[in-house]
Amino acid sequence: MDWDKLRIFHAVADAGSLTHAGDALHLSQSAVSRQIRALEESLNTTLFHRHARGLILTEQGELLFDATASMVKRIDAATARIRDSEEEVFGELKVTTTHGFGVLWLAPRLTKLYEKYPDLKIDLMLEERVLDLPMREADVAIRMKEPSQADLIRKRLMSIRMRMYATPEYLALRGVPETLDDLAKHRLICQNPASSQVAAGKLMVQELLTYDIKTALTVNNYFGVLQAVVANLGIGVLPDYIIEDFPNVVRVLPEIESNEVPVFLAYPEELRHSKRVSAFRDFVQDEIFSHRRQLRAMGAD
């Protein structure tokens, strides 16, 4: 089967439009259309349904798209390895982690990585679901549990716990709770137990909600919880890594915390010698060490 036609088919299926695929491929719409017709004739099948808003894959087209998507990922993986320089760090690195860790901890620290490697391009994918690293949905993952996928290199970075935080302004107005029963006088801000989150955080929230809490605000990510806490709306359940970067919040009920949550960095075995991956791994490890030192200095361990 002609790979060039498959490449064009994949671009059209991905874009859902002959025009957009042509723009991406630097080909005219008519040239793209001819290649698709030729591929359909060679396979003796229809790959797309045409309609006013674009193109929809037929059942046969879906089967072929699954195959070409796998081929493209493998080619991208090979290309990445070939392009990895022995001396330089450049090109795209796809990094996936959770919304909370990506927004509240990782993204604010990337300035240092770009200062050291200005030609590096990070594609930061914030997902609660676990992406398939061997299939190159991402190059590197930072997850809140040990990855179960085979053929991955993994390293435990640190452990985190969910704890309770509020602003001094809020506590001055509403009082400092001394027991869990005192939460009845406060507004609890947390992730909805039904939303995607680490199991330890969900269990802690479920336990807190068994108390006589008369008012609460639930949000589907930790960034929203933090913003509500900073706005003096109540006492929030948040991961302990936020305390270094947000010293304007203080811990409440310090004896209450979740079980330990391990944080792992993982990447495919085939990227073991990737300079981009090594640079990112070393950067994260250095930042973790700095984070720990800062927490010890703050007495927040």
**How does pLDDT run across 92-124, given as a tens digit for each residue?**
899 999 999 999 999 999 999 999 999 899 999
Tokens 């991402």 found at: 138
Closest CA to 89 of 286, 265, 280: 280
Instruction: Name the more confident of 169 and 292.
Output: 169
Contact 204, 162 (CB under 8 A): yes
Q: Any idea what DSSP says for residue 277?
A: H
Closest CA to 144 of 104, 183, 179, 184: 104
Q: Using DSSP, state whether 266 is helix, strand or coil.
A: strand
Phi first, then psi: what are they for 158, rounded to 5°?
A: -170, 180
Instruction: Name the more confident of 271 and 186.
Output: 186
40-53 per-position pLDDT tens digit: 999 999 999 988 77
Identify the pLDDT of residue 265: 97
pLDDT at 256 over 90: yes
Query: At 257, which amino acid appears?
Result: E
Range with the poorest average pLDDT among 23-27, 54-58, 80-84, 247-251: 80-84
- Across the chain, what does the average pLDDT equal? 89
Instruction: Name the more confident of 297 and 108.
Output: 108
- The stretch 229-256 carries a mean pLDDT of 93
71 pLDDT tier (thresholds 50, 70, 90)? confident
Query: How is the beta sheet containing 187-191 ordered, strand by strand?
Result: 215-219, 187-191, 235-239, 162-166, 250-252
Identify the pLDDT of residue 85: 54
Identify the pLDDT of residue 87: 56
Identify the pLDDT of residue 39: 93
Identify the pLDDT of residue 80: 65
Identify the pLDDT of residue 194: 84
Please tell me the distance from the alpha carbon of residue 153 to that of residue 267, in angstroms, as a whole number.
Answer: 5
What's the burial of 174, exposed, middle or buried (CB within 10 Å: 0-12/13-18/19+)?
Answer: middle
Identify the pLDDT of residue 130: 86
Complete DSSP assignment for 166-186: E-HHHHHHH----SGGGGGGS
144-164 per-position pLDDT tens digit: 998 887 789 999 999 999 999
